[in-house]
Amino acid sequence: MAKHGVYTQEAPTKVATPAVAASGIPFVIGIAPIQAAVSPAAIGAPVLCFGWDEATEKLGYSDDWAKYTLCEFMYSHFKLFGMSPVIFCNLLDPKTAKTAVAADDFNVADHKVVLPIGAINDSALVVKNGAAACVADEDYIVYYNGEDCVVELLSGGTNYAATTLSIAYNAVDTTAVTANDVAIGIEAIEACMSRVGMVPDIICAPGFSNDAAVAAVMATKAAAINGLFGAKALVDIVAPDYSTVIQTKNDGNYTDLNQILCWPRVRLGDKVFHLSTQLAGVMASVDSGNNGTPYESPSNKSLKCDSAVVVNGAEFEEVYLSHSQANYLNEGGIVTALNFVGGWKVWGNYTACYPVNTDVKDYFIPISRMFDWVAKTLVNTFWSRVDNPMNSRLVGTIIDTCNIWLNGLTGAGYILGGRAEFLDSENPMTSLMAGIVKVHIYLTPPSPAQEIDFLLEYDVSYVSAAFGG
């Protein structure tokens, strides 16, 4: 058919737009009062929450953080730091982790009986008025209100005027979730991309990460989520005082470059937090302030606390670290809390591999995180190019896209410099024939300025100048 007129076509852009990876996204595994949730999340699966209301609806909430470890993180991240999102993974299953509570008599006040939040609203919950059994949804309803499981008599029922009720029920057994369960359950992080559409770069297990086996599994998963993406495992160390922390680190073999070790805990009012919990909030906050780029260290950034504490029996004992004591911990690869200038701050720039590993890209927290972040961005950006015809046009697009993006990072101050190169020495003919292309990324994130030295000298010339000499 003959064509008559003016026609246009569009050619694909030779440079791709980078799919910049998100940072400061925690994956937190542990125990939640799921029995009290309005819309309970699946057990042992990642659930994405963007705020307090969503988290409490899907997971429930209790101030008993010793039992319900996810609630500590929920409160810290959403209430104190105002950060989101968080990917939670609850391992408590009320259908299996439960114990029977024998029938007991309860006084009725305002037509209600208040049970603890651990009570489960299932078939084992039996309500009687004397010898007469009460019928659910006819004589009473059960709901959760804050820390309470409420049995409320209905005005249309035959037992509305009852003054005492006999109630038996099942209660959740949080002790059924062990450190071994957490170590196994961390595997759920592999499902984050497919189930919630994003991959975390921070892994937390408050109340469990002090177990060496759990910490080791956290580090293993942090090294390669989905076999591709790097993260950092925030691990708490339990030690009675600062002088034993480094020995505890060595005994537990906490030396992985993907671990960040935390000691001690911190307290705000009457609430006690694992330092790893608040460190995650600080990291997310710092990243957010830098357009989601993790190039800045969380060290010397403010915590939400008024003291540091360690466990002493059934009580918490305050810890007072001097600057030199905090630096001693830093030199052993420990991140701590210091109240020195400007209030309570995170103190420490090193991952757990320091001082054994002295590769700057491994031991400095922000540099190591930047390498993970750049790698994640490269995977996200060029995944769609996998299986395209491998030719000079494809390689050129990859190189140009990388260099433009790296130049932008340099201009923003996020890196000191970076470039992408296609090197003949790394791309032999046999590899190219097999469909394998290697792009070499040169990358230099800035080191944290952890030591600033001033030299003070008395200059006698100013004396002469002052007196006209």
Q: Please state the length of the chain.
A: 469
Output the pLDDT for position 299: 98
58-77 in b/e form (b: 16+ CB < 10 A) is bbbbbebbebbbbbbbbbbb
Q: Which stretch of 252-256, 302-306, 312-316, 327-331 has the lowest confidence by average pLDDT?
A: 312-316
* pLDDT higher than threshold 70 for residue 11: no
Residues 173-208: pLDDT tens digits? 999 999 999 999 999 999 999 999 999 999 999 999
With CA atoms as reference, report the closest residue to 18 among 444, 416, 397. 397
Domain ranges of the chain: 26-92+177-365, 98-172, 387-469
Identity of the residue numbered 120 = I
Contact assessment for residue 24 and residue 284, using Cβ atoms and an 8 Å cutoff? yes
Q: 18 CB contacts (<8 Å, ≥6 apart)?
A: 377, 381, 401, 405
Three-state secondary-structure class, residue 230: coil
The mean pLDDT of 99-124, rounded to a whole number, is 97
**Would you place residue 15 in the very low, low, confident or very high pLDDT band (cuts 50, 70, 90)?**
low
Residues 225-264: pLDDT tens digits? 999 999 999 999 999 999 999 999 999 999 999 999 999 9
Output the pLDDT for position 314: 82
Contact assessment for residue 103 and residue 166, using Cβ atoms and an 8 Å cutoff? yes
The mean pLDDT of 57-84, rounded to a whole number, is 97
* pLDDT higher than threshold 80 for residue 6: no
**Would you place residue 12 in the very low, low, confident or very high pLDDT band (cuts 50, 70, 90)?**
low
Output the pLDDT for position 94: 97
Output the pLDDT for position 9: 67
Q: How far apart are CA 329 and CA 247, in angstroms?
A: 11
Identity of the residue numbered 311 = V
pLDDT > 90: what percent of the chain? 93
Instruction: Residue 359: count other Cβ atoms within 10 Å of its Cβ.
Output: 12
The mean pLDDT of 17-30, rounded to a whole number, is 86
Which CATH code is given to the segment(s) 26-92+177-365? 3.40.50
* pLDDT higher than threshold 70 for residue 469: no
Residues 131-176: pLDDT tens digits? 999 999 999 999 999 999 999 999 999 999 999 999 999 999 999 9
Q: 203 CB contacts (<8 Å, ≥6 apart)?
A: 26, 27, 29, 186, 189, 218, 221, 222, 231, 232, 233, 234
Residues 426-438: pLDDT tens digits? 999 999 999 999 9
* pLDDT higher than threshold 70 for residue 7: no
**Would you place residue 468 in the very low, low, confident or very high pLDDT band (cuts 50, 70, 90)?**
confident
With CA atoms as reference, report the closest residue to 433 among 393, 405, 391. 391
